[in-house]
Structure 1
Amino acid sequence: MDFDRIKEKLSILADAAKYDVSCSSSGSKRKNSNKGLGDSSGMGICHSYTQDGRCVSLLKILLTNHCIFDCAYCVTRKSNDIKRAAFKVQEVVDLTISFYRRNYIEGLFLSSGIFKSPDHTMERLIQVAKKLRKEENFNGYIHLKSIPGASDELMREAGLYADRLSVNIEIPTKSGLKLLAPDKKHEDFMKPMKKVKDEIIQYKQESKLIKSTPKYAPAGQSTQMIVGATGESDRDIMYSSAFFYKNYNMKRVYYSGYVPISTDPRLPAIGSQVPMLRENRLYQTDWLMRFYGFDIRELLNDSFQHLDMEVDPKLSWALRNRHLFPLDINMADKQLLLRVPGIGLKSTNKIVQARKYRKLNWQHLQKIGIAVNRAKYFITCDSREKELKDLTSEELKQLIIKNSQSKFRKELSPQLSLF
């Protein structure tokens, strides 16, 4: 083996894979068996997080950065003058096993540029996973990037070896995709997504009848959208996300701020980086939609198309809907409590349990761990903490921001004194 050449390939193809953020390994519990190698449920080069919060390391690479497409936003587009490389199937298998034995990684995240055809590329990705599972008896985590346009037969086979599959939708809207990637069709992304969804449902149903039914993509499927490459609003982006969650049973949708890599006039100018805060606000909105019972139309709509960068989306919603507050902390329904700024999922459950035994006061809420400095403006307890009738929503917003900054400075001051 030419180790210098392998090292060069690894450098090129690992760097090219850094733009893909959809590599969470949450949801899979593939156990070791027959004295095999690895275990995706164990604790432990890219860091990802499992469903229970553990940090795991994955070998994150492209099979190749050669590509037949010329998407304006992609660093591996065929017209881009970059150094090209490609791994052989066995090279990826050997790297994965070698890295695992050295305790560098706990799994593999494998994507690829599209060379020759979608089916040809997908076949190669599957070969890697199949060799790891069948020949190396590898039970660690494997995430394969599904290739848009790949056949149903290949998508079915991929799910038998991979823990998670993902098809990156790339641009949130059809018009944006047509502008920046005219060679690609929106339908090519939808087809493999639908196949994976249908297969997951079918295998789950069969497993209830036949215990020996193999697992199919046990960690589900995910997708990723590029934010800021085209002019989509936050509403456009999150409406697309809601569509995928509802219709394709997505485990996760990831949001990646566009990194200017081209002087193409269709793209934002070099240096106009998408703020990390915008990504953060999209993830917060995604969280509210998935776990807090919010309909996306409540958070973003024709009248409110962009998320507030000054405050989180739950507080922003509450300030626009002050007629629903204050809520009585001892009487309000659980779903309403989840909508109070400063009260999270765990705190809501604690409140619901605790108030069965006694009437809660402000001291109890502080011990439970809610952010009283925010919640006090939207709830009543044994007394109303603040009288806010004369404050407009904008004035209340600025008051909360000011109080939050003041609290942060007080918490930081003792730490700074140590230096």
Structure 2
Amino acid sequence: MSEHLREKLNILADAAKYDVSCSSSGSDRKNTNKGVGNGHSSGICHTYTEDGRCVSLLKILLTNHCIFDCAYCVSRKSNDIERAAFTVDEVVELTMNFYRRNYIEGLFLSSGIFKNADFTMERLLRVVKKLRLEENYNGYIHLKTIPGASDELIKEAGLYADRMSINLEMPTESGLKLLAPEKTHGEVIRSLDFVQNQVVQFKDEKKLIKSVPKFVPAGQSTQMVIGATPETDKDIMYTADRFYKSFALRRVYYSGYIPISNDTRMPVLGTQPPLLRENRLYQTDWLMRFYGFNVRELLNDANPHLDIDIDPKLSWALRNLQHFPIDINTADYRMILRVPGIGVGSANKIVQARKFGKLHIYQLKNIGISYNRAKHFIKCADTPFQLKDYQATQIKGFILAESNSKYLKTDNNQLILF
């Protein structure tokens, strides 16, 4: 690799680190015609597939030049940073060389917007076409959709990419207008809607015509910046819920705002992004997607913010003690999932195991539930107490005390695990 290309890689890989939506799951693109790579078996960014495998992606921008001046973005045009741009051939060369050396298992390609949306999208398209058609590359490709790009370019890109994503940026239109007045949610929605309609159309054609090509087989995702604007957790998750339902998104990503600007419109956060809040939002997202919770159960006008000291599932349970304790030997699967300390896998095991007899505490522990947390919300064959004996604040105190008991504070207030 030439020194000039290495410098570009350092600049444009660093600029890409702020985009967290670099997932690599859902693809079923297999190796054909003795090509290179396999998106099915699947940088250098580490991410995880749906079945838990860790994969490496070459995560870069085509360029960090941008015509927009978004206050929250490190690549904004007014920011005094070192700029660079790859050629189409350079991205292809890097991807193939890194793949052959077993450094990566796929490509995540985004870009600042230079000249206009179509000009940028056309170059991203040229990269993926050359990889697929000239290099016979069958590995995973996650491609960013450029807001405002033409339907023709987006449709063609969808024939070569495994996943496409487009950043919503801010959770609300008002937040976006505050920090990026040149952008609108309307352009993002139009592109998401177009890709989703194409996915449905290609699937319908596949039922009639066997040779229909794949179109974005790993689906779409989006990303929101959290903490740069004053939205509540309720605002954020209601937006996520609406986009999940409207566009069948695979994921919504929540990126804690990293202070990179002295703009007076930006909040004062110190030097660290709001990582705990980000984590709570992901937990809420998980409950919505896999645990059967409606977003309005978790966040509403009475509870517009997530608790910082406890996770959203426990928070919901403490606010709804009228549903507990549940009898683990008779409750339906949906209610078992709602017990703090019981995950999807454990809930399935419980339903299967109780077919052979009533479950006792030791059996629940062997199944793998977090019994010290769950015990406040369940009863089984040998439960020693009833939940009604305690108030929500007491239960919360018990659980937090149990969690803290894993740590010992020294004289200098350092935490030691024992």
Q: One fold, TM greater than 0.5? A: yes
Q: Distance in 1 between matches of 2:178 and 2:271?
A: 19
- C-alpha deviations, 1:78-129, integer Å up to 9, x for none? 1111111111111100110011111111111000000111011011001100
Tell me the amino acid that sits aligned with residue 62 of structure 2: L
Question: What residue number does 2:411 align with?
Answer: none
- In structure 2, relative to structure 1, the CA distance for the partners of 1:112 and 1:416 (3 Å cut) is closer
1:358 paired with 2:357, answer yes
Shift of 1:408: 6.0
Partners of 1:61 and 1:110 within 8 A in 2: yes
Aligned partners of 1:47 and 1:55 also within 8 Å: yes
Which residue of 1 is the match for residue 340 of structure 2?
Answer: 341
What's the counterpart of residue 291 of structure 1? Answer: 290
Q: Secondary structure at the match of 1:27?
A: coil
Distance of 2:237 and 2:272 partners within structure 1: 20
SS at match of 2:313: helix
Secondary structure class of the residue paired with 2:254 = strand
Superposition TM-score, scaled by structure 2 size: 0.96
Q: CA RMSD in A?
A: 1.5
Q: Secondary structure at the match of 1:109?
A: strand
> Could you tell me which amino acid in structure 2 is paired with residue 259 of structure 1?
I
What are the ranges of 5 or more consecutive residues in structure 1 without an aligned counterpart? 410-414
> Sequence identity, in percent?
66
Counterparts of 2:354 and 2:269, CA distance in 1: 55
The CA deviation at 1:390 is 4.5
1:218-297 paired onto structure 2 within 5 Å? 218-269=217-268, 271=270, 273-297=272-296
Give the corresponding residue for 1:320: 319
Q: Distance in 2 between matches of 1:399 and 1:127?
A: 58
Q: 1:298 to 1:305 in 2, by over 3 A?
A: same
Query: What is the match of residue 125 of structure 2?
Result: 126
Match of 1:14 in 2: 13
Measured in 2, the distance between the counterparts of 1:386 and 1:310 equals: 26
Contact 1:61 1:111 in 2 (8 A): yes
Conserved 8 A contact 2:324-2:387: no
**Change in CA separation of 1:43 and 1:296 when aligned onto 2, cut-off 3 Å:** same
Post-superposition CA distance 1:36-72 (Å, at most 9, x none): 0011123491111111111111110000011111111
Specify the alignment match of 1:102 in structure 2.
101
8 A Cα contact 1:263 1:270, kept in partner: no
Structure 1 stretch 204-213 or stretch 311-320: which is displaced more? 204-213
Kept after mapping to 2: 8 A contact 1:262/1:270: no
Aligned to 1:136: 135
Do the aligned partners of 1:373 and 1:404 also contact (CA within 8 Å) in 2? no
Q: Report the secondary structure of 1:68's partner residue.
A: coil
Residue equivalent to 2:413 = none
Tell me the CA shift for residue 155 of structure 1: 1.2
Could you say if the C-alpha distance between residues 57 and 238 of structure 1 is closer, same or farther in structure 2, counting changes exceeding 3 Å?
Answer: same
CA distance 1:341–1:396, change in 2 (3 Å): same
- Equivalent position of 1:395 in the other structure: 394
Alignment partner, residue 148 of structure 1: 147
Contact 1:376 1:386 in 2 (8 A): no
Moved more, 41-50 or 87-96: 41-50
Query: Whole-Å Cα distance in 2 between the matches of residues 75 and 363 of structure 1?
Result: 53
Task: Quote how far apart the aligned CAs of 1:407 are.
Answer: 4.6
The answer to whether the 8 Å contact 2:43/2:59 transfers is: no
Write out the 4+ residue segments of structure 1 that deviate beyond 2 Å after TM superposition: 41-44, 272-275, 383-392
Task: Give the whole-Å Cα distance in 2 for the aligned partners of 1:26 and 1:386.
Answer: 44
Q: Residues 139-158 of structure 1: CA distance to partner in whole angstroms, max 9, x if unpaired? A: 00000010011111111111
Q: Which amino acid in structure 1 is aligned with residue 195 of structure 2?
A: V
| 2:59–2:108 CA contact under 8 A, matched in 1 | yes
Give the whole-Å Cα distance in 1 for the aligned partners of 2:359 and 2:391: 29
